[in-house]
Amino acid sequence: MRYDVVIIGGGVTGCAIARELMRYRVRAVLIEKDCDVGCGTSKANSGIIHGSTHFVPGTLKWRLGWAGNQQWGRLSEELGFGFARIGDLTVAFGEDEVDQLREFQWRCERSGVPRGELWGPERVRAEEPNLSGAVVGALFCPTTGVVNPYEACFSLIESARRNGLELRVDNPVLGIRADENGLWVQTEHELINSRFVVNAAGLYADRVAEMAGAANFTITPRKGEEYLLDKRLQGIVSRIIYPCPSSTSKGVLVIPTFDGTVMVGPTAEEVDDREDLSTTATGAEHVFSKVGRLVPGISERDCIAEFAGLRAVSDTEDFVIGATTVPGFINAAGIQSPGLTAAPAIAEFVIGVLETEGLALEPNEEFLPGIEKPVQVAALTTRERQDLAATDPSFAQVVCRCELVTRGEVLDSIQRGARTLDGLKFRTRAGMGRCQGAFCSLRCMQLLSDSLGLPFAAITKRGEGSWLVIDREDLERRSGEPAP
């Protein structure tokens, strides 16, 4: 089987490229090492579609970040994932910081992007009454949005698959070689021949480039810890709140997520381990001390969940996108922040590179931009819920009480590709609420087990090695002793 394009990595970069590629008559396959797409950095980030005032001109990050920003409204309409352009406020605590905000405005003006509005203290207080009284001004940027990043990955890949993409999960790429017949990608399960390979392997992109003999950059993981707060804080701010950034970091933010939870973070710390997703006491102290200065009503006691993500930082600190010395091997690497924002523009950019390198782009006349949007019972009115339950009673059977997720939604998400507890959680929100799955986990596992025809003990949290329960007989067989 010969492919035109193999995409390695099913994060937002790979998923966006895959979907864009399906606009053309191209035979393509996406290879992902984990059990689902969107499980790497694309799941563990701040979910912000950064606006015009937060880009540093002259970099690929800036060019593709701003171009990507403007595509999210259309994408969310076509694909139905959660996105809202809520705007952001960068706040100043003194006249020197107000000068910094003016500088941002000039920078935007010079780069031809919207410059944002400078607000005085009264306007800030009227619009965001829970901000610290010490704030003396703020720059309002209406082009910033929030997105459910995992939902975006799931719907991009669903759309790509409906339009002809092949997807292989649980299939790490182990080696790549080139010969006169093109590129050969050796995965754990198969050997794939392709004319082009797009390297969108996130934290492992330098290793994948090395496999192909195209190593000319390195990736350093930069960890960011994020803290999710109780939904009772919903509405404490209505826009994303940034402090004035330093030269190395955007600082710790207050983020009203699309689903109504408030999130605070992230930290920024270089680490050696590409799998280190631990949160730390030091990280929490840092985040809550910084956030307390912005919004004094937020405290560490409000935290209901925490996670960390790793930015894939290249040695140039910019995206590494383009052809390499190995014919047909193309990098979409070093995609650190604002990689989520930029993803739709990165996809177009990579298609351009493929065309320049000789891929014929004949339009796929049958390309369907939309997918059937999943039902979200929690977002419906009472009347809509009653009508839906009358046609399908499974939409009246509540599985997750905190987030009001029904059996019908869980079954639909299994049909769309959820295979694990996390796959369900990130598609439906079951398990994301105050009790963090204490009520619904067993119910979700049972539905997975029944629908997939798998033994209960085979259901995992997020794939291989993350089993939740052990079969008693299996345990006894392995230990040679009676189970307690």
Ligand X SMILES: Cc1cc2nc3c(=O)[nH]c(=O)nc-3n(C[C@H](O)[C@H](O)[C@H](O)COP(=O)(O)OP(=O)(O)OC[C@H]3O[C@@H](n4cnc5c(N)ncnc54)[C@H](O)[C@@H]3O)c2cc1C
Q: Which is nearer to ligand X, 212 or 440 (CB)?
A: 212
Place of tokens 């995609």: 335
Q: Which is nearer to ligand X, 125 or 290 (CB)?
A: 290
Which of 364-385 are b and which e, b meaning 16 or more Cβ less than 10 Å from the residue's Cβ?
A: eeeeeeebeebbbbbeeeeeeb
Q: Which of 50, 54, 189, 286 is catalytic?
A: 50
Where on the chain is the footprint of ligand X (CB under 6 A)?
Answer: 8-14, 31-34, 39-42, 45-48, 50, 172-173, 200-204, 208, 224, 226, 266, 309-311, 335-341
Q: Which is nearer to ligand X, 13 or 406 (CB)?
A: 13
Closest approach, Cβ 242 to ligand X, in A, equals: 11
- C-alpha span between 119 and 140 (Å, rounded): 7
- Residue 199: beta bridge partners? 8, 331
Please report how many Cα atoms fall inside a 13 Å half-sphere around the Cα of residue 239, on the Cβ side: 23
In DSSP notation, 314-372 reads ETTSS-EEEE-SSTTEEEEE---TTHHHHHHHHHHHHHHHHHHTT----B-TT-----P
The set of residues, in sequence order, having a beta carbon less than 8 Å from that of 365 and lying 6+ positions away, is none
Q: Which is nearer to ligand X, 50 or 419 (CB)?
A: 50
Q: Which is nearer to ligand X, 335 or 375 (CB)?
A: 335
For 182, which DSSP code? E
Closest approach, Cβ 3 to ligand X, in A, equals: 15
Q: Which is nearer to ligand X, 152 or 440 (CB)?
A: 152
Q: How far is CA 337 from the centre of its chain?
A: 11
To the query of whether residue 189 is one of the catalytic residues in this protein, the response is no
- Is 198 in contact with 226 (CB distance < 8 Å)? no
What SS3 state is found at 259? coil
* 187, containing H or E segment: strand 182-187
Closest approach, Cβ 30 to ligand X, in A, equals: 9
Structure tokens at 75: 């994408």
- C-alpha span between 460 and 364 (Å, rounded): 38
Phi, psi of 3 (to 5 degrees): -105, 155
User: Which are the catalytic amino acids?
Assistant: 50
